[in-house]
Amino acid sequence: MDIILLGPPGAGKGTQASLLKDEHGMVQLSTGDMLRAAVNAGTEVGLKAKALMEAGELVPDEVVSGIIGDKLDELGSEQGVIFDGYPRTAAQAESLDEILAERGRVLSYVIELSVDEDALVERITGRFTCAKCGEGYHDIFKQPAVAGVCDVCGSTEFKRRPDDNEETVRTRMQEYRAKTAPILPIYEARGIVRKVDGMGSMTDVHEAIEAVLSL
132, 172, 179, 195: the catalytic one is 172
Are the C-beta atoms of 82 and 113 separated by less than 8 Å?
Answer: no
Catalytic option among 142, 161, 177, 190: 161
Question: What distance, in Å, lies between the first and last C-alpha atoms of the chain?
Answer: 12
Closest CA to 187 of 107, 118, 83: 107
Q: Report the alpha-carbon distance of residue 138 to residue 148 in Å, rounded.
A: 12
Please identify which of the residues 21, 36, 103, 127 carries the catalytic annotation.
Answer: 127
Relative orientation angle of helices 31-41 and 44-54, to the nearest 10 degrees? 100
Neighbouring C-beta atoms of residue 8, cutoff 10 Å:
23
**Contact criterion met (CB below 8 Å) for 122 and 165:** no
> Would residue 123 show up in a list of annotated catalytic residues for this protein?
no
Q: Which of 21, 88, 160, 170 is catalytic?
A: 88
Catalytic residue list contains 88: yes
What's phi and psi for 81, nearest 5 deg?
-130, 155
Under a CB-based contact definition with an 8 Å cutoff, are residues 137 and 128 in contact? Answer: yes
Are 206 and 16 a contacting pair, CB within 8 Å? yes
* 194 is known as an active-site residue: no
**DSSP strands (E only) in 40-182:** 81-84, 107-114, 127-130, 136-138, 158-159
Q: Look up residue 186 and give its DSSP letter.
A: H
* Enzyme catalytic residues: 13, 88, 127, 161, 172
